[in-house]
Amino acid sequence: MRRPTIYDVAERAGVSKSLVSLVLRDSPKVSAAKRAAVLSAVAELDYTPSRLAAGLAGTRTRSIGVVIDDFSNLWFVEALSGLRASLGAEGYALSVADARLNEHLGIDPLDAFRALRVDGVVLAGEASASAVARSGAPAVVLGTRGVTAPGVPIVASDEVEGGRIATRHLIELGHCAIACVSAPGASATERERGYVETMAEAGLKPAVVRAKATDERAARAAIAPTFEGAGAGAGTDSHADAKSNEWMPVPTAIFAVNDPMAVGVIGAAQYAGFSVPADISVVGYDDSPLAEYDMISLTSISGDPRELGEAAGETLIALIAGTSAESRIFPPRIALRGSTAVILRP
Amino acid sequence: MRRPTIYDVAERAGVSKSLVSLVLRDSPKVSAAKRAAVLSAVAELDYTPSRLAAGLAGTRTRSIGVVIDDFSNLWFVEALSGLRASLGAEGYALSVADARLNEHLGIDPLDAFRALRVDGVVLAGEASASAVARSGAPAVVLGTRGVTAPGVPIVASDEVEGGRIATRHLIELGHCAIACVSAPGASATERERGYVETMAEAGLKPAVVRAKATDERAARAAIAPTFEGAGAGAGTDSHADAKSNEWMPVPTAIFAVNDPMAVGVIGAAQYAGFSVPADISVVGYDDSPLAEYDMISLTSISGDPRELGEAAGETLIALIAGTSAESRIFPPRIALRGSTAVILRP
DNA sequence: CTTCAGTGTTGGAGCGCTCCAATTCGCACT
DNA sequence: AGTGCGAATTGGAGCGCTCCAACACTGAAG
């Protein structure tokens, strides 16, 4: 009942183990007849080559590790599919881990991948720069410009520009009192910067509320005080009697640095009696599946995550091949939906 | 610049390679002095043991593979954390893959894990039973009772009971016209069955709408016709003049077999002019982060995914140890939120 | 008929570990 | 001093592959 090895296959096919190995790595210099014999022996024995042995013996493992910053930010699903497309074409197997996957072993994912001798690493989302630097393998940072390390190219969308696009969109709709709900982290900081710059250029006063975390709840907690005392009835004309607070009038538009936070902002606004988009327009970021839900219909900014993933894969391939790979920054787009509208009472 | 091996560490620490190996696997029969010497040599050389070599040489790899059915169903995040807790305690490293992760290579994740010689496999969510059976390694199915294979225990919540709880909750709120939006897949079928049985027991007529897929859009498309011609103005008293359709009056409550679909149902209801929960109550399933968003506030059923994950880990450990492991079914709970309310006009 | 260059195919030498049997080292007890 | 015995330590034999240098063939050129 032993697991079949390359020798079993060789014997069955009447060839040498080396020839079997060549077939498995589909080398061009194997005669069609022998190739067929080997393949049928493989099928008959239900043989699966051991990646462990192959990796140990060979100069590379043909596998690459993907570290996902946060599984609950669905952004990564599309990005992964892009990585799959480009890296798969080159025959690489992907293996994913989140930042906390094996933390119980006191092992960060980069060490885990190092132990597996992956040929390269993709860091999707926020990651510690020191960790990147420490890892010996070729690496690419995907999705944020906030993490920099020497020799590690970045593939991301221009998040500052994304913040600008969001803000410009709101300004074009006639809004002046535009707030930004930001969060910790490099991406958020970039997006926020785009907002601040664009507001300043338009001669408007930027107002940033910084949430403690990057999720819905934190956003709600951060923005709620802004609505305090300003809310009214069932969302009709409630804004008319809004009390202005210390730093600015109750905003008529809010840019949240990611989609879950935007949903939190909408929740807080509704709770305070405002309706979206009639009273308050909201823009999110990432264009996640969340934004597409009919019930949410959130206008959102994003670099196409699939495109980014694909580009990151190509960059990593170049890096592994020894070509010096350069960072690539993509322009973000805006997906217009139902959470933003022209301001009615300017 | 070669990567250091166990021999380099041994030489530096002044011991044999075997002793280094013992320290790495923290064997109890190593003297404190030698252990310290080895560990400091490891640190000085920045040595990372090769899992490839270790797995190849040893009788097991101390790693287990987790196949996630669908990354966009956030349910898995908590389940993974439970797996981490129980499997991590035993020193297993987890490695995750989704069903499509390496499909470009024509490799399903189970083959990929087999190639990596994992010690065991957890199948989270729907998975093909044949695939499970084919895989040689000990396996556990997590999250659904729909997938059965000989020798593969199941750790799941009682989804039939979950369907019952949802339906009973709506009945207790005074609803009689209760519809169910179901979907393809084993889990959905079980949940639906709980609904049908409970309706029958209460003397109510069950009405199931089956969506083509398991997502928000499919749910919206499936339920929308039910509201057709029944919708009215801004959600006030709109239900009063509802036209009944062929199979039942416009429902006053809807049980959707998962959270994204419930969100779709709410979207469709709102689009038709109904308001939730004033006109229509909606119950979801999985209690995903989605349900917790303030803006959505969805009453939802779920087995504690973290608890399930932990139990699945324990079961897998038992299975690997050779103890015959049995399936475990947990009772689900209901998380009451704002999408359900007592019916006003009975 | 020999030489030469391919093309296909082969055995051997590791890759970096684990496991095992064998060995050495203490140290208490005759 | 001699014996015994468990505890600590060691070298050797693989694990299942890849890579490489060497090999047999074939057929064209000298």
User: For residue B263, which amino acid is it?
Assistant: V
The pLDDT of residue B111 is 87
CA B122, CA B67: separation in Å to the nearest integer? 6
Interface test with B, best of A80, A101, A236 (most B CBs within 10 A): A101
A108–chain B nearest CA distance, Å: 11
- pLDDT for residue A44: 93
Q: Residue A339: inside a domain, yes or no?
A: no
Query: Residue A126 has what pLDDT?
Result: 75
- Do the domain assignments include residue B314? yes
Q: Examine the domain organization and report whether A90 and A200 are in the same domain.
A: no
pLDDT of residue A63: 95
The reply to whether B60 Cβ lies less than 7 angstroms from strand C is yes
Extended strands (E) in B158-241: 178-182, 207-210
**Which structural domain, as residue segments, surrounds residue A19?**
6-49
pLDDT confidence of residue A106: 65
Whether B224 contacts B268, CB under 8 Å? yes
Averaged pLDDT, A282-309: 94
- Asked whether residue A211 carries a pLDDT value surpassing 60, the answer given is yes
Mean pLDDT, chain B, integer: 88
pLDDT at B30 over 60: yes
Give chain B's count of helices (H) and strands (E): 13, 12
Mean pLDDT of B35-58: 94
Q: Is the C-beta atom of B271 closer than 7 angstroms to strand C?
A: no
Ranking A122-126, A192-196, A213-217, B278-282 by mean pLDDT, the lowest is A122-126
Q: What is the pLDDT of residue B229?
A: 60
Residue B55 inside a domain? The answer is no
Residue B131: its pLDDT value, please?
65
| Position A143 pLDDT exceeds 80 | yes
B-facing residues of A in 245-264 (CB < 8 A) are 260, 263-264
Q: How far is A89 from chain B (nearest CA, A)?
A: 7
> Which positions of strand C lie within 7 Å of protein CB atoms?
7-20
pLDDT of residue B145: 79
Report residues 27-56 of B contacting strand C, contact meaning Cβ closer than 7 Å.
47, 49-50, 53-54, 56
Same-domain status, A16 and A96: no
- CATH code at position B85: 3.40.50.2300
Q: How confident is the model at residue B318 (pLDDT cuts 50, 70, 90)?
A: very high
pLDDT digits over A233-262, tens only?
A: 433 333 333 343 444 578 999 999 999 999
Q: Which of residues 15-44 of A touch strand D (CB under 7 A)?
A: 17-18, 21, 24-25
Instruction: Tell me the pLDDT band of B323, cut-offs 50, 70 and 90.
Output: confident
B121 touches chain A (CB under 8 A): no
Q: Which of B115, B263, B266 is nearest residue A51 as measured by Cβ atoms?
A: B115
> Is residue A128 located within the same domain as residue A168?
no
Chain B hits for A91, Cβ within 8 Å: 105
pLDDT greater than 50 at residue B335: yes
Over chain A, what is the mean pLDDT? 88
Q: What is the per-residue pLDDT for A242?
A: 38
| Alpha helices, DSSP H, located in chain A | 6-13, 17-24, 32-45, 51-57, 75-89, 109-115, 129-134, 159-172, 186-201, 216-227, 259-271, 289-292, 305-321
CA of B56, C1' of D15: distance in angstroms = 5
Residue B139 host element (H or E): strand B139-142
Same-domain status, A148 and A181: no
At residue B322, the pLDDT reads 85
Chain A within 8 Å of B337 (Cβ-Cβ)?
no
What's the mean pLDDT in A306-333? 93
Res. B73 pLDDT band, cuts 50 70 90: confident
User: E-assigned strands of B218-297?
Assistant: 253-256, 281-285
The answer on B268 and B166 residing in a single domain is: yes
B96 inside 8 A of chain A by CB:
yes
- Tokens for B251, please give them: 């429902």
Note the pLDDT of residue B233: 40
Residue B21 covered by a domain:
yes
- For the ranges A341-345, B48-52, B218-222, B306-310, which has the lowest average pLDDT? A341-345
Per this entry, what is the length of chain B? 346
Q: Are B50 and A115 in contact (CB under 8 A)?
A: yes
Asked if A82 has any chain B CB less than 8 Å from its own CB, the reply is: no
pLDDT tens readout for residues B105-154: 667 888 889 999 999 999 988 766 666 666 678 999 998 877 778 888 99
Rg (CA), chain A: 26
Run of H or E including B109: helix B109-115
- Nucleotide of closest approach to A48 (CA, C1'): D16
pTM: 0.84
Q: Which of A48, A71, A100 sits opposite B114 (nearest CB)?
A: A48
Give the pLDDT of residue A234: 39
Does residue A273 carry a pLDDT above 70? yes
Instruction: Flag whether B342 is in a domain.
Output: no
Predicted pLDDT at B142: 92
Give me the pLDDT at residue A105, please.
Answer: 64
Find residues 28-67 of chain A whose CB sits inside 8 Å of chain B. 48-53, 55-56, 61
Give the position of tokens 């990611």.
A258
Residues A128, A129, A134, A137: is their CA dihedral positive or negative? positive
Same domain, A163 and A232: yes
**Would you say A167 and A244 are in contact if contact means Cβ atoms under 8 Å apart?**
no
Burial B261-275 (b: 16+ CB within 10 A, else e): bbbbbbbbbbebbbe
Q: How many CA atoms lie within 13 A of A226 on its CB side?
A: 31
pLDDT at A302: 92
Number of domains into which chain A is organized: 3
Assigned domain for B338 exists: no
- Residues of B within 8 A of A77 (CB-CB) are 71-72
Closest-approach residue (CA) in chain B for A106: B88
B17 touches strand C (CB under 7 A): yes
The answer on A237 and A256 residing in a single domain is yes
Q: Is the CB of A7 under 7 A from strand D?
A: yes
Does A189 reside within a domain? yes
Q: What is the DSSP string of B177-190?
A: -EEEEE-SSHHHHH
Please give the pLDDT value at position A129: 60
Do B141 and B166 reside in the same domain of the chain? no
Lowest mean pLDDT among A68-82, B134-148, B170-184: B134-148
Could you give the C-alpha distances from B185 to B19, B67, B148, B218, B229, in angstroms and in order? 52, 17, 13, 14, 31
| Residue B172 pLDDT | 97
Distance in angstroms (rounded) separating the CA atoms of residues A286 and A304: 9
On whether residue A235 sits in a domain, the answer given is yes
pLDDT average, residue stretch A73-98: 90
Confidence of residue A72 (pLDDT cuts 50, 70, 90): confident
User: For position A18, which CATH number holds?
Assistant: 1.10.260.40
Res. B241: pLDDT tops 80: no
A193 shares a domain with A105: no
Do A93 and B100 lie within an 8 Å CB cutoff?
Answer: no
pLDDT of residue B94 exceeding 70, the answer is yes
**pLDDT the model gives residue A343:** 87
- Quick check: A270 and A235 in contact, CB under 8 A? yes
Token pair 């996957």: residue: A101
User: Residues A148, A200: one domain?
Assistant: no
Q: Which nucleotide is closest to B53, CA to C1'?
A: C17
Q: Quick check: B88 contacting A, CB < 8 Å?
A: yes
Asked whether strand C has any atom less than 7 Å from the CB of B7, the reply is yes
Closest among A209, A243, A249, A247 to A229, alpha carbons compared: A243
Which residues from chain B sit within 8 angstroms of residue A294, using beta carbons?
216, 220, 264, 267-268, 271
Per DSSP, the three-state class of B140 is strand
Top mean-pLDDT range of A222-226, A280-284, B141-145, B240-244: A280-284
Same domain, A104 and A145: yes
Are B216 and B237 in the same domain?
yes
CB–CB contact A292 B95 (8 Å): no
